[in-house]
Structure 1
Amino acid sequence: MDKFYLQNVLVDPNRNQICHGENCELIEPKAMSLLCVLAKHPNQVLSQETLIESIWQNRVFSPSALQRLVALLRKAFKDDPKNARFIRTHAKRGYSLEVVPEYLEELTTEPNAQQNKLITLLLMSALVLLLVSTVIFQLFTKLNNSIFEISKTAPLTYSAYRESRGQLSFDAKKLLFMQQKNGEYKLVLKEIESEQSHILLSQTKPITFSWLSNSKIVSAYNKPESKALELKVFTIENNKVISEEQLPLPKDTRSIDQIHSTTSGITYFILTQGPANNTRVSLATFTATSDQVKILALLANDTLYHSLAASKNALFLTATQSQTIQQLFRFDLKSQTLSLLKDNLASIYHLVWHEKNQQLLFFDTLKAEGYAIDGDSLNHTREISSDLKPIKLHTEMPLTQAMLREDKLVATLFSQNIDIFSNAPHSFELNSKYEDYLASVSSDGQLMAFVSHKQGRPMLYLQQNDHHSIIFENKENAGFISRAIWSADNQMLAFAANGRAYIYDIGTQELKHLQSEFPLVRIDHWQQNPSQLVATTRQTNKSVILNTNTFESFSFEQQGMVIYKDTLQQVVWRDNHLENLARSKKWALEHSEIVHAFSLGSHILVHLRLENKNQLISLSPELQVNRKITLPAEAEFVSSGYFESSNDKLIYFYSHWLHEDADIVLSTISQ
């Protein structure tokens, strides 16, 4: 269909665009189809039935789906439904377009022979100019925009214990790191040119710390007797603590994360206040000349912050919102404002600011990849993907917890062996030398889907008896495959990878791809309606319902993760609590952390981590507690379960990290 104007608004059906001057907005194809149908019959009332049939053609859709498209069009036209200028609602009758379209006629005359020669000459000239421009651009790019390269890593630590969070002193002569040994966490100091290490402090919780100068460090510290949290500054001399000073913290501070100190004497960190079911997360700071902690900005409660980097003018943070959406934030130090740069990062990244080049470096925590982006590109756009430049890494393992001093890059290399276990010895168990996790067992206990790194990348497998088969090969090398969700009849399972949803048919062994208007992170719930799935997207507070028969998708606003949904009620997991939206009822256990929550038929299972134990809680959709089970100490993540038909016993499956190692390595960064 040709372009047309509605008053002064340009509509381009071929590109699904509505333009107000130079500002063009993309709309859904279905919304554009609705507009084109209305445009063919201006000033005529078209019934809902006529419009639904024209758009969805022999498929049954509710009036609410049509109303959603109308709302999208009104938003694009900036049209007020109470005083409509474009699309008018006629109660119990339908809709009408109140403006007559003005179509743009396309030139269709044939060029003559002389015109053909002229066109040919112009095309040849343009081709020559294009080739010359390409060569110049490539030369300029090589000279001025070369890709970073990270040298081969050299170990700084190599014991049998887990050593991580390495921090070089400002003169790059000393290394500060955390060592995990027999349930204790030690803050260790080591000179780069020496093999000796020195323990500065020890506690039973992970330690967050940073250098303040070459002789001072700041660290979060839990007092052994009361376990109260303190923020302390330690002065170091001859590799020993010679004095300490306690900094006053805001009231009810529960944890401190991501401490980052700059060469200018300013320290930034993230602190959490209040009880687990009513937390406040803040970005805070203090300076070397002041002992006062200042709150810079309040952060979202349902968000886990992974990394903090600082330039002279801004702070950058990566985070996971609602256990799903990978985000990048920028805090402007001058205006004291926090802005979301991107809310659909492809992975979890650790950040490093490269002061010399004024670039932000991203290191993927799931696979051996890194990227750089110019600081200027982070000031004005959320579409940063096209500006990312790959970093060449000489390692097959991800570089995590990276930090930079001049050209010296310190990072942590993690290696682990994860296996799947159960509380029933006769049930499926996987004990291999590979990473096997995210077990998902059918409701009859006969089949198990799981993710494994047998081929060096995550792949989805299906186990029946002792036989393994590959469901999803992951040829695009996605860093993450979501937990598989089973249909009620155990004949199909669904999962997400590379932003797409997939359905696997057990009987036909056929893998199908479901369309969605938004990139997906995971499948949350397979509803009682066997043709409808609920999935979480990479967009903030956006979920979708996927129809497995029509392959249509419908998006809706939703904070948190949908873990149960039927015709009467919906239960979501957010902010460390569960909430039944229909009943406006919340459920949480004080002094606990929700590790995982999922539905099992009409039951909701919640894996809770308490101070000294793990529990598995079974709830009804009304959030009434049915049973409590104390989990083994090694149960790090309960991912699935089923009820035995004979005695209603709950059989659950969990991941156990049998062997973990972490070492700190040193590299150099160059162009």
Structure 2
Amino acid sequence: MVKEEKFFVGDFIVLPAHNKIVHGEQSFQLEPKIMDVLCYLITHKNQVISKQTLLDALWPGQMLGQDVITRAIFELRKTFGDDAKQPIFISTIPRKGYCFIHDVTSDDPIPIRVNSNVVSTKTQYIVSLFVVIALLIAYWLWLGVSEPKISKPQLSLVSHQFDKANNPNISPNGVNLLYVAEQNDEYFVVKTDIGSEKQTVLIRTAERIVAPKWLNNNEIIYGKCEDGKCGLHQFNIAERANSHLPYQTREIFSIEVAPKNQQVLIANLQGGFRSFDIVDLANHRLLELPEAINARRPVWGNNDRQVFFLANTPNGNQTFNSFDVTSFKQTEIELAVDQIFTLATMNNDKILISARKDGLTGVWTYATNSAQFAKLIDATPGEVISDLAFHNESQRLIFKNVKRNIDINIEGLDVHLPNVNSELIDLNAVYLTKREQLLFVSNRSGAYELWSAQQEELKRLTNLKLNVIDRPIVNIQQNQLAFVSTKQNISKLSVINLDTQQITFTHQFDKKVFLLGWANDETGLYFSTGTRENYAIYNFSLLDKATKPVMVNAGVMFHEDKQGNHYFVNMARNFLMQQQPNGEVSALFQLPESMLLTPHQTAIVDQELYFVERFNNRLEVKVVSLIDEQHKEHSVMKLPRNAYITQLGGQKNPFVIYDLLIEDKHQLVIAQFDKAIR
């Protein structure tokens, strides 16, 4: 479909390619999937379409509740001003589905010649309708060929009563599922019959259990950790007998069993960094490796002759690697995705990878012989797949699905922004008092984008398909916004003109940077970067892209007042510092040890320092006058302990904007493939 095509629903102009509906002088920006729902209903005008039909057509192969359809219909009705009880656009057919009942016309109907060269109104209407339907069909075909072909397994949830369940894997005979669960400070190793869903708790302990795996259909192996030491244990299910194996380390992260030779791959902590050991269970012998390898999430591959793993370079970049256990040769593999979460062995020549690419998550296969990546499953937007395990004989993939809902909260501001929070992740918000506008980051459209909320209007500002966007910063005039997106520890800086909503400047840093604020003359930005031990603050010029150091041992905040004084936090001594225009630096006062040293959780507003202290059951926002020589603290407000503050502001009326985790839902999912994956 040509992206400029449009059609009319009454007085509404629908622009599918732009995800927009126009009504008079009003413009409504829809989420892409909500536009897809509308187009599907219009394509099947006057037909009753069930929720399940919409899910199968628009979210193929994805595990999703029908509430997403309910929400889409709600948003469409709100846009059209439709009444569910007396609808003129979308009618609800109880217990059956929805039906689009309004007339639809093309903006440029094609006339057809008849005997007298006169086209009747009825004929013209029919032709117009056919044109619209043809355009919509072309739209769906265009969507189909522009997306990679994804497998469509049958998905089913593994029911359990625990808060969190991790490390699922299937027994060699494909009958039982094994996982470790946490609840009320206890750990449970659980066996579940896949057919009957009968659950049996094999082990229950207060000690931390790590990565239980099947050795055979009757025995499992797992790690148990206590007091800074982790050991390897073996459990016989039939005899309910537990035995300790002669292996001990500081930490165990994962365990992988090589079924052909009974070798166990153990991800652990060695000399302060993550590595792995290989243990031969036949003789309880530790395989000698030439040196400790920097490795995360190792798995077996190529008939147990290779180990595939992740690693981090000194500047934080993630790498994907292979290690030959016979030749000890290590090879870095070129990544076809942006970020890998977990790895799993699939078969002799394939590795499964849960990863993120262009802001969206899913599962890929990596062919070890051809070095090719291929998409296998798309995750539901806003959700992450991890903890993969594959059973070849049954063609079943088991994984953990994580859905997080983070909401934006505003305290101290009398604003009404009803559409800000979705059921997904909304965070990193900043409020522009002059414009009465909230800018924030959300993954409601799938990838992370910048959004704007102003009175009743909700608008997406970017279409960049990013993996993450840090908290944006706004200039003094509040007409320019700068933000950083990070991929592979490389930070890309973008500046948006808020009046034109166009990106006017971009620059790429070769390391992770944290934006702190704009320079007073608005020709540059201040940012911090460094290591865990030593942070520094720099000035970046938007004119010549030059970077100049400003302060060492400094981070968290940088404030430049109207007189040219600079304020920053000395992170080595935990002091608030002031640098005068003549270069003289002085310590104003020492900050509390319980103060949160994170960007944007400290701010100077009108000669007052706002900061946050963490207590056992709460956060407390406090203020100190920079003019008062005694620097007496005053409490401003108390917040939940898990709040993440993104803006401290106000003068006479302080306000706080913070993110709050509403839901952290972990589900175990079995994906059953009908055909062997090639």
Shorter-chain TM-score: which interval?
Answer: 0.5 to 0.7
Q: Secondary structure at the match of 2:502?
A: strand
- Tell me, yes or no, if structure 1 residue 220 matches structure 2 residue 226: no
Q: Report 1:108-147 matches (<5 A).
A: none
Q: Could you tell me which residue of structure 2 aligns to residue 270 of structure 1?
A: 267
TM-score, length basis structure 2: 0.56
1:640 aligns with 2:654: no
* Partner in structure 2 of residue 154 of structure 1: 155
Question: Structure 2 counterpart of 1:470, which letter?
Answer: K
Q: Which residue of 1 aligns with 2:241?
A: 242
The whole-number CA distance in structure 1 between the counterparts of 2:610 and 2:312 is 23
Change (3 A) 1:165 1:358: closer
SS of aligned partner of 1:195:
coil
1:230-256 deviation per Cα after TM superposition (whole angstroms, max 9, x unaligned): 324131324x74223155423xx2x42
Query: Which whole-Å CA distance do the structure 2 matches of 1:298 and 1:267 have between them?
Result: 16
Q: Which amino acid aligns with 2:441?
A: V
Is 2:452–2:461's contact at 8 Å kept on the other side of the alignment? no
Aligned to 1:415: 403
Matches of 2:205 and 2:415 in 1, distance apart?
A: 38
- Please state whether the residue corresponding to 1:388 is helix, strand or coil: strand
SS at match of 1:171: coil
Give the Cα separation in 2 of the matches to 1:216 and 1:349. 28
Quick check: 1:186 aligned with 2:183? Answer: no
Of 469, 481, 492, 2:480 maps to 492
- Alpha-carbon deviation of 1:451? 2.0
| Superposed displacement of residue 155, structure 1 | 1.8
Contact kept, 8 Å, 1:157 with 1:663, in 2: the verdict is yes
Q: Which residue, 442, 457, 461 being the options, matches 2:451?
A: 461
Separation in 1, partners of 2:639, 2:190: 27
Other-structure match for 1:349: 341
Match of 1:230 in 2: 230
Shift of 1:433: 4.5
**Residue of structure 1 aligned with 2:423, choices 423, 434, 442:** 434
RMSD: 5.6
Query: Which letter does structure 2 place at the counterpart of 1:353?
Result: T
Is the alpha carbon distance of 1:179 and 1:646 closer, same or farther for their aligned partners in structure 2, counting shifts above 3 Å?
A: same
Structure 1 residues 613 and 337, CA gap change in structure 2 (3 angstroms): farther
Residue 653 in structure 1 maps to residue 658 in structure 2: yes
Q: Cα 1:479–1:306, aligned 2, differ >3 Å: closer, same or farther?
A: farther
Opposite residue 403 of structure 2, the aligned amino acid is S
Work out which of the residue numbers 372, 375, 386 in structure 2 matches 1:390.
Answer: 375
5 Å matches for 1:39-58?
none
2: CA distance, partners of 1:340 / 1:607: 44
Give 1:256's aligned amino acid. Answer: I
Say if 1:604 and 1:183 are closer, same or farther in 2 by CA, change over 3 A.
farther
Structure 2 counterpart of 1:258, which letter? S
Alpha-carbon distance in 1 for matches of 2:600, 2:246: 41
Would the aligned equivalents of 2:168 and 2:668 in 1 still touch at CA under 8 Å? no
Corresponding residue of 1:526: 517
Matched, 1:317 2:306: no
8 Å contact from structure 2 (residues 337, 355) kept in 1: no
Deviation at 1:320, TM superposition (A): 6.4
Deviation at 1:662, TM superposition (A): 1.5
Contact 2:360 2:379 (8 Å CA) reproduced: no
Shift of 1:175: 0.9
Q: Which moved more, 1:513-522 or 1:182-191?
A: 513-522
- Per the alignment, residue 452 of structure 1 pairs with 442
Q: TM-score, normalised by structure 1?
A: 0.56
After the TM superposition, which residues 67-82 of structure 1 pair with which residues of structure 2 at under 5 Å, given as runs?
A: none
CA 1:190–1:597 in structure 2 vs 1: closer, same or farther (change >3 Å)?
Answer: farther
Cα 1:425–1:393 shift into 2, 3 Å? closer
Write the letter of the residue equivalent to 2:387.
Q
Q: 2: distance between equivalents of 1:308 and 1:561? A: 37
Match of 1:8 in 2: none
Q: What is the letter of the counterpart of residue 339 of structure 2?
A: S
Match of residue 177 from structure 2: 175
Tell me, yes or no, if structure 1 residue 289 matches structure 2 residue 282.
Answer: yes
1:299 Cα deviation from its structure 2 partner: 6.4
Query: How much has 1:310 moved relative to structure 2?
Result: 2.1
Amino acid at match of 2:360: K
Tell me if structure 1 keeps the 8 A contact 2:319–2:332.
Answer: yes
Instruction: Tell me how far apart the structure 1 counterparts of residues 319 and 535 of structure 2 sit (CA, whole Å).
Output: 14
- Select which of 388, 400, 408 maps to 2:386: 400
Q: 1:359 to 1:400 in 2, by over 3 A?
A: closer
Contact kept? 2:167, 2:212, Cα under 8 Å: no
8 Å CA contact 2:363–2:377 kept in 1: the answer is: yes
Aligned pair in 2 of structure 1 residues 289, 322: CA closer, same or farther (>3 Å)?
same
CA distance in 1, matches of 2:346, 2:513: 34
Conserved 8 A contact 1:495-1:522: no
In structure 2, how many angstroms separate the alpha carbons of the residues matched to 1:294 and 1:192?
35
Deviation at 1:441, TM superposition (A): 2.4
Taking a change above 3 Å as real, the CA distance of residues 367 and 601 of structure 1, as seen in their structure-2 partners, is same
**Which secondary structure state, in structure 2, belongs to the residue aligned with residue 463 of structure 1?**
strand
Aligned to 1:209: 211
8 Å CA contact 1:561, 1:573 repeated in 2: yes
- For 2:237, the aligned partner's letter is E
Distance 1:324 1:245, change over 3 A: same
Q: Distance in 1 between matches of 2:623 and 2:286?
A: 41
Q: Which amino acid aligns with 2:386?
A: T
Partner SS state of residue 651, structure 2 = coil
Query: Cα distance 1:634–1:405, how it changes in 2: closer, same or farther (>3 A)?
Result: farther
1:13-63 C-alpha deviation (Å, 9 max, x unpaired): xxxxxxxxxxxxxxxxxxxxxxxxxxxxxxxxxxxxxxxxxxxxxxxxxxx
Amino acid at match of 1:413: N
Distance in structure 2 (CA, Å) of the matches to 1:606 and 1:338: 46
Q: Residue 14 of structure 2 aligns with which residue?
A: none
**SS of residue paired to 2:158:** coil
CA–CA distance in 2 between the matches of 1:321 and 1:616?
37
Q: CA deviation at 1:404?
A: 1.9
Shift of the 401–617 alpha-carbon distance from structure 1 to 2, 3 Å rule, reads farther
Q: Aligned pair 1:665/2:678, yes or no?
A: no
Across the two proteins, how many residue pairs are aligned to each other? 485
What's the offset of the Cα at 1:411? 1.5
The residue number in structure 2 matching 1:372 is 365
Distance 2:527 2:158 in 1: 42
Instruction: Flag the 1:444–1:270 CA change in 2: closer, same or farther, 3 A.
Output: farther
In structure 2, the residue corresponding to 1:199 is in which secondary structure? strand
Amino acid of the structure 2 residue aligned with 1:660: K
**C-alpha distance in 2, partners of 1:555/1:172?**
60
The runs of 5 or more residues in structure 1 that have no matched partner are 1-146, 379-386
Structure 2 runs not aligned, ≥5 long: 1-147, 561-565, 580-584, 625-630
Q: Tell me which of 499, 502, 513 is aligned to 1:511.
A: 502
Q: Which moved more, 1:547-556 or 1:409-418?
A: 547-556
Question: Which residue of structure 2 aligns with residue 478 of structure 1?
Answer: 466
What CA distance in whole angstroms lies between the structure 2 residues aligned with 1:481 and 1:436?
A: 12
C-alpha distance after superposition, 1:315-353 (max 9, x if no partner): 333356799644324444345466654589513332233
- SS, match of residue 507 in structure 2: coil
Q: Aligned in 2, Cα 1:516/1:441: closer, same or farther, shift over 3 Å?
A: closer
Match of 2:253 in 1: 257
- Cα distance 1:191–1:422, how it changes in 2: closer, same or farther (>3 A)? same
Cα distance in 1 for partners of 2:292, 2:230 equals: 21
Partners of 1:440 and 1:463 in 2: CA distance: 10
Q: Which amino acid aligns with 2:254?
A: Q
